[in-house]
Structure 1
Amino acid sequence: MKKLLYVLFLVTIVSCGKSSEEISLSQEVDSLKTEITALHRANDTLSDHLLKRSYVTLNYPAFFDSIAEPEEYILQELQQRPGLISKKAVLGGTMRFTRVTFINEDLLVAEFEDGHIMGKTVFRYRLTRNGELGFTNVCDIEY
């Protein structure tokens, strides 16, 4: 009888442990949690860089080779399109673009203000074969 109880006790203890599948899944979950943490950290770092204007690049797209000041050229193009500004002017002001900074050959940040409020928008831009610039709002940067 004592031997039977001893065997049942051992079987119960052994069966309480995690199976290899459970251990594998637990390790995968831990790995994914670590990856999510790293991605959150990278996202926060990118947001900080964007807000501090650390995204400046001097690698202009090849189609700007013939333009002396690409930022100024794009700023003038944007100033002719105030409808691209997502915020509305307040207290009788008029929204206008004030600064452009390239992120890369596809994206730029355009700053705007009306004298009372200001904002930034990330635009995707393209130069067509006939020399016209096209802009697509990617996102607004909130302060």
Structure 2
Amino acid sequence: MRKLYIICCVAAFLACGRSPEEDKYVSIIDSLKVENKDLQQANDTLSEHLLKKAYIARNYPKYFDTIPEPEEFILKEISQEPGLIPKEAVLGGTMRFTEVSFINDKLITASYEEGHVMGEAVYSYSMNKRGQLQFSLVGIVKE
């Protein structure tokens, strides 16, 4: 009886091991966890730089050569598109852009507010063939 009990325990113990297919999926999950951790660290670093405004390059595209105040020009242009603001106003307010800073020749940050709610977002920009700026929301920096 005792031998039968030991044999059953050993058989149960051996049956609890992982199959090769399970090992493959565990390996994939582990590599995804590492990749996720690396991406989170990169995101945190970028967010930290953006919040400190350590990114400002003053490297304007050629089409701003004739414009004396490029940030003011961009602010005026993006202000004409309040639908780009990723937050809704509260208490009957109106969201508006308040400040713009260049990151590089393709990206800007724009601050927005309405008195109660404020935030900052990253936008890509380009000039079309008619000389009009086009903007696209890339991501929210802070809410």
TM-score (norm 2): 0.70
What is the Cα deviation at residue 39 of structure 1?
5.6
CA contact (8 A) 2:47 2:141 kept: no
Alpha-carbon separation, structure 2, partners of 1:85 and 1:38? 29
What is the Cα deviation at residue 75 of structure 1?
0.2
Partner of 2:8: none
Alignment of 1:29-40 (within 5 A): 40=40
How many residue pairs align between the two structures? Answer: 114
Q: Which amino acid aligns with 1:43?
A: N
Give unmatched runs, 5+ long, in structure 1: 1-28
Q: Percent identity?
A: 53
What is the Cα deviation at residue 93 of structure 1?
1.2
**1:47-101 deviation digits (Å, cap 9, x = unpaired):** 1011122211111111100111111001001111111111111112110000001
Give unmatched runs, 5+ long, in structure 2: 1-29
Partner of 1:142: 142
Partner of 1:18: none
Give the SS at the match of 1:135: strand
Q: Which amino acid aligns with 1:111?
A: S
What is the Cα deviation at residue 46 of structure 1?
1.6
Larger Rg: 1
Q: Does 1:97 align with 2:93?
A: no
Q: 1:49 to 1:91 in 2, by over 3 A?
A: same
Q: Does 1:133 align with 2:133?
A: yes
Partner of 2:73: 73
Q: Which amino acid aligns with 1:131?
A: G
Give the SS at the match of 1:99: strand
Alpha-carbon separation, structure 2, partners of 1:36 and 1:45? 14
TM-score (norm 1): 0.70
Alignment of 1:1-143 (within 5 A): 40-143=40-143
Q: Which amino acid aligns with 1:114?
A: E
RMSD over aligned Cα atoms = 2.2
